Amino acid sequence: MRVGIIGAGQLGRMLALAGYPLGLRFEMLDPNPQACGGQVAPLTVAAFDDEAALAALARRVDLVTFEFENVPVATMAFLAGRCPVFPQPAVLEVAQDRLREKECFQELAIPTPAHRPVESRQQLAAAAAELGLPAILKTRRLGYDGKGQAVLRQAADLDAAWAGLGGTPLILEALVPFEREVSMVAVRGRDGGMQFYPLAENSHRQGILRLSRACAADPYQERAEEYTRRVMEKFAYVGVLAFEFFQVGGELVANEIAPRVHNSGHWSIEGAVTSQFENHLRAICGWPLGATTLNGPAAMINFIGELPGTPTLLAIPHLHPHAYGKSSAPGRKVGHATLCLPPGADFDGALRKLREVIGGLD
């Protein structure tokens, strides 16, 4: 079976690497000729709206998936008229618009932060007065890794935020006084069967995920699974879905979904019986899903900007490095490493030692 992947970043790269042992073959399409997925699979360099290139790809593959949620919905709809596409474009359309996404959560009785749509400076002032400050102003579309947003702590911040983000549809959200940020990574097959990974507790730096730790027997596991199940069933979803939450008091408050394999699930490559990448491929191919149980205590550390030296990483017991084949640049995810220990090992002690060696994990 040949799988087409729209986008050829590190997620597409890791999908292909997970799929080759299963006997799958891959082709990717991306406008960037240097996209790192092209190092491991044939790459068509074309714009996402190049219908001739898309049609040619559809003829060469058995089905198509995508590796980032900002691929144009029109691209996936065009492909869906020519070959099977998973996940379905309908969920992509909702996930790309923060307001529609929150309306979807509310329809499914999933708690969300208080929020208001903003399309003018006057509307921003009214929304800030209604919700109160602090609050966070976000573009409704295309923001990620802390981009396309501004924190408003006082009325004097409104002008600068509007100057930086105005002119496009926005949403103002009340700032949530969360205790933890957690994410659920789940997978649903073509037959409706589902598997759920253990919740991951996430730490960010400058809006970019830095550390994600899998949580065995988390008290919020069941609730996160239920909220995620509601979304997947609504869309008859096929593939891996990530759902990010804020823990506030005794409740989980929805942040956002990502209809794809997700950074906070990278620990599963070594840390779970079946990785999120393999399970995504199993799901979209109509194959049986794999077990999502932990192999032992596990965490994922992102490398932002540049990679530590490979010998340094290899000298750390139970650490598994993954370089993405990308050049160094500020704010760029260039690799990650998974810390996977035997059951019962001193995970906190190992994490402290890792901090000492490579730093920057706090």
Q: How far apart are CA 139 and CA 150, in angstroms?
A: 9
**How confident is the model at residue 146, as a pLDDT?**
58
**Mean pLDDT split into 10-residue runs, the chain, 362 residues:** 98 98 98 98 98 98 95 97 97 95 98 95 94 94 74 93 89 94 98 98 90 94 98 98 96 96 97 98 98 95 92 92 95 94 87 78 55
Say if residues 335 and 314 touch (Cβ distance below 8 Å): no
Q: N- to C-terminal Cα distance for the chain?
A: 43
- Tokens found for residue 147: 């981009």
In the chain, ranges of CATH 3.40.50.20 domains: 2-85
Say if residues 272 and 292 touch (Cβ distance below 8 Å): yes
Cis ω before 134 (30° cut-off from 0): yes
Q: How far apart are CA 228 and CA 214, in angstroms?
A: 17
Instruction: List all residues 6 or more positions away from 349 whose beta carbon is below 8 Å from its beta carbon.
Output: none
**How confident is the model at residue 362, as a pLDDT?**
52
Q: Which fold has domain 180-358?
A: D-amino Acid Aminotransferase; Chain A, domain 1 (3.30.470)
**CA quadruple 6, 61, 24, 92: dihedral, nearest 10:** 30
What CATH number does the domain located at 2-85 have?
3.40.50.20
Name the amino acid, one letter, at 219.
Answer: P
Count other C-beta atoms under 10 Å from residue 342's C-beta: 9
Task: Please tell us whether the domain made up of 114-174 is placed in CATH 3.40.50.1980.
Answer: no
CA 134 to mean position of chain CA atoms: 26
Q: How far apart are CA 51 and CA 72, in angstroms?
A: 12
CA distances 77 to 15, 84, 126, Å, are 22, 10, 37
**How confident is the model at residue 202, as a pLDDT?**
96
Q: How far apart are CA 259 and CA 68, in angstroms?
A: 8
Instruction: List all residues 6 or more positions away from 339 whose beta carbon is below 8 Å from its beta carbon.
Output: 297, 298, 299, 300, 301, 316, 318, 319, 320, 347, 350, 351, 354
In the chain, ranges of CATH 3.30.1490.20 domains: 114-174
In the chain, ranges of CATH 3.30.470.20 domains: 180-358
**How confident is the model at residue 218, as a pLDDT?**
96
CA 227 to mean position of chain CA atoms: 17
Q: How far apart are CA 337 and CA 134, in angstroms?
A: 35
Instruction: List all residues 6 or more positions away from 120 whose beta carbon is below 8 Å from its beta carbon.
Output: none
Name the amino acid, one letter, at 33.
Answer: P
Q: Which of 141-145's residues contact partners 24+ apart within 8 Å by CB, and which partners?
A: 141/70, 141/96, 141/97, 141/98, 141/168, 141/169, 142/70, 142/96, 143/98, 144/70, 145/207, 145/208, 145/209, 145/331
| Full-model pTM | 0.94
Residue 299 φ/ψ, nearest 5 degrees: -150, 155
Say if residues 212 and 300 touch (Cβ distance below 8 Å): yes
